[in-house]
Amino acid sequence: WSATVRFCSSALLLGAAITLGFFVTYSETLVYFDSALENFLGQVRKPFAANVLLVITTLSQPSWILGCGLGLALVTLLTGGRRSALLLGTSPVLAVCVASLIKLIFTRPRPDLVAIAQEAGFSFPSNHVAVATAFFMSLIVWVWRSTAERRIRVLCGSLGVSLIMLVAYSRVYLGFHYLTDTLGGILVGLGTWAIATTVSGHMNLPEKLPKNFALLCSVLTIGGIVAAATQLAPRSLKFVSPLVVK
């Protein structure tokens, strides 16, 4: 596809996310559907499933995914994959920025259902899902650019899409988000991923990094991952009960 078509596709996806935001804000029918689904999931929630999904949703913290994206971008850049490095490094960052901006526009409160843990911030769209979508879709493109083996491409694509769906389901099942929040997150993630894919595919970057600059990037990336792990992730969840759900 041409760059124009890709940019138009990303604009349509982001526009669809914003349109959905208006619907979940002003449509009583959609709000009722979201609330009914949350109440149903709250009634059928099982301890084992809740604990497994709690681990998944914790590992999909935006801070962790951003750190992984920057780390993979650096590794890819040092091995010569300049376009994929730009994609892996910018796609999740762009997703979290756009999702956070949309949150401020609609200021939708989180579900009032008692969840496994309390989370601050607004509900629509889901930052977890938006960043996970952008990151895993970028990984799929990276693999497709790196190998022509059909089975590897299909396996990576299936695994990436499955992980996106699993993260989205965990957010709804645990009561952190409404279903429409995760749909909005997927739309934002796809839109920002399309932008990053287009930009990374049409930029001329240097063949190699200077050795000193590469070393500096390595130190900064490792420091950023450590900071995200020790500061950002623990503060985003405040557990209101033990890990095991009764």
pLDDT digit string (tens) for the chain, length 246 residues: 566 777 788 888 889 999 999 998 888 888 888 888 887 877 777 888 888 888 888 888 888 888 888 888 777 777 766 777 788 888 888 898 899 899 999 988 888 765 566 677 788 899 999 999 999 998 888 888 777 778 888 888 888 899 999 999 988 888 888 889 999 999 999 999 988 888 776 655 444 444 454 444 445 445 554 544 444 444 444 444 434 343
The pLDDT value recorded for residue 245 is: 40
CA atoms of 89 and 101, how far apart (whole Å): 19
Find the helix or strand (DSSP H, E) in which 118 lies. strand 117-118
**What is the C-alpha to C-alpha distance for residues 151 and 142, in angstroms, rounded to an integer?**
15
CB 120 within 8 A of CB 164: no
Question: Dihedral of CA 21/27/28/29: which sign?
Answer: negative
Query: Rounded CA gap, 36 and 51, in Å?
Result: 23
Q: What gap in Å lies between CA 13 and CA 75, rounded to an integer?
A: 30
pLDDT at residue number 118 = 66
User: What pLDDT score was predicted for residue 236?
Assistant: 43
Peptide linkage before 62 cis (omega within 30 of 0): no
Query: Which secondary-structure segment (H or E) carries 239?
Result: strand 238-239
